[in-house]
Structure formats: C-alpha cells, structure tokens
C-alpha cells in the first residue's frame, strides 16, 4: 500500500520541475523453522513477510529543458535553491520563479529566493536576473516537506551551477511509474488472495476440529 501511494505521487508530479521520487526499501521479518510436533522432524521454514525498512529519495539530478523564460532557473548538478517562507528558510529544486510586486524573485507561492549571502534576489529593470546572484546550497539530509519544498540546514555552497531560461525535469517517469503500479497492484492482490486462503483454511480446520467426538 505504501508503494502504491508513492507511485501515485510520482504520477501526480510527473510534470513538476525538480521533483524527486521516493523509494521504499524493504527487509524481511525473518522466518520460523517448522517441525513435526510428534517426531520433531523438520518440515521447512515459514516466511513472516516483509517490512518497510526505510524510505529514501532519489536525488539524482534530472535533465534540463530550455523554456526561454528569463525567470526560469535550473541547477545543473547538486544543490538546492534557498527560499524564505513564513515557517523559515526552506529549499527547493523547482526554479519556476516570478517577479513580485516589490521587484524580488519569488516562487509561485510568494516565497523570496535567496542569494549566496542569504539576501533576497532582486529582478533587474530589464526583467532578468544574473544566475550568479542566486544561491545554490548544499543541504545534507534534506527532508521533503511538500509543495516542492525541503527542510534542512545549509552546509555551504553546493557544486551545482545555475542555468537561466531552463527548468529541471521531474525525476518521475510516467511510463515506468505505470508499469510499476501495475506490478505493485498485482503483488498486492496476490497477497490479499493468500491471506484469504489462509483464513479460509484456518476457519475450516477449526470447524472440523470442533466437530470431532470429544472435542
């Protein structure tokens, strides 16, 4: 079910600039060694299923696409843009910016984009911004917050460079996501059928044992 939710989120963000998909890492609960209660002879092992061990985000840089828009920016390589929100400083890879009424470079939500020194970036009189005026920061252990924003703390300048008139493509591939969703759904249905079969078998066994003389 978690995997289905992740794939659905990937599909919903297939056209979101700078989107990074999540991946669930699974590990086995282990297994029980079954043996004959009378003779003690080993029968085999019974798997106990899997659990989600960790959810990781694929931060691989995506391809850059030229848009021709002067306030669209993309990071070639690693790093994040820094923005000032009502909740404090946040980070993003979505460089689809606009000009505010005050002449500042902001996100679609109105959050100010910050320069290398942490000051707001001002849009020039010609409606453009020098890419070097936009900060690109390294953010170790960045965590998704939603709305293309990430939480974390700056750790200096990142190695990525800013490119004007371009956007980073979403990291979600809709074709692969659809294939993954079908495979995941089939695995989920198979698990449901297995549980139903085991439940029916246990119910029948309990009924038959209860119906035996002296039971």
How does pLDDT run along the chain (215 residues), one tens digit per residue?
Answer: 778 888 888 888 988 999 999 887 766 555 555 566 666 666 666 555 666 777 788 888 999 999 999 999 999 999 999 999 999 999 999 999 999 999 999 999 999 999 999 999 999 999 999 999 999 999 998 999 888 999 999 999 999 999 999 999 999 888 888 888 888 788 778 878 888 888 888 787 777 766 666 55
Q: Which residues pair with 89 in a beta bridge?
A: 84
Q: Answer yes or no: do 68 and 153 share one domain.
A: yes
Q: Answer yes or no: do 88 and 183 share one domain.
A: no
Q: Answer yes or no: do 108 and 145 share one domain.
A: yes
Phi-psi region of 115 (alpha: psi -120 to 50; beta: other; left: phi over 0): beta
Q: What is the pLDDT of residue 77?
A: 94
Name the token pair of 157. 């300048």
Q: Answer yes or no: do 191 and 112 share one domain.
A: no
Q: Answer yes or no: do 91 and 117 share one domain.
A: yes
Q: Which domain holds residue 201?
A: 2-58+172-209
Q: Answer yes or no: do 27 and 121 share one domain.
A: no
Number of domains into which the chain is organized = 2
Residues 79, 136 contacting (CB under 8 angstroms): yes
CB count, 10 Å around CB of 172? 23
Name the token pair of 107. 């996100």
Q: Answer yes or no: do 98 and 150 share one domain.
A: yes
Q: How far apart are CA 34 and CA 28, in angstroms?
A: 17
Q: Answer yes or no: do 115 and 138 share one domain.
A: yes
Sign of CA dihedral 182, 184, 188, 190: positive
């Amino acid at each position: 079910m978690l995997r289905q939710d992740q794939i659905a989120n990937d599909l919903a963000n297939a056209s979101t600039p700078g989107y990074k998909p999540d991946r669930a890492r699974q590990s086995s609960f282990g297994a029980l060694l079954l043996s004959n209660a009378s003779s003690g002879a080993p029968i085999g092992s019974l798997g106990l299923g899997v659990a989600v061990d960790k959810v990781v985000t694929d931060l691989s840089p995506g391809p850059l696409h030229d848009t021709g828009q002067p306030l669209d920016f993309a990071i070639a390589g690693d790093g994040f843009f820094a923005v000032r929100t009502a909740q404090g400083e946040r980070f993003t890879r979505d460089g689809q910016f606009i000009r505010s009424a005050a002449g500042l470079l902001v996100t679609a939500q109105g959050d100010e984009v910050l320069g290398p020194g942490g000051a707001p970036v001002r849009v020039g009189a010609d409606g453009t911004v020098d890419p070097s005026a936009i900060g690109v920061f390294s953010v170790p252990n960045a965590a998704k917050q939603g709305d293309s924003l990430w939480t974390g703390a700056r750790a200096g300048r990142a190695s990525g460079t800013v490119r004007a008139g371009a956007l980073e493509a979403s990291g979600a591939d809709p074709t692969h996501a659809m294939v993954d969703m079908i495979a995941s759904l089939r695995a989920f249905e198979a698990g449901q059928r297995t549980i139903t079969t085991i439940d029916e078998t246990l119910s029948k066994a309990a009924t038959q044992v209860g119906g035996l003389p002296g039971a």
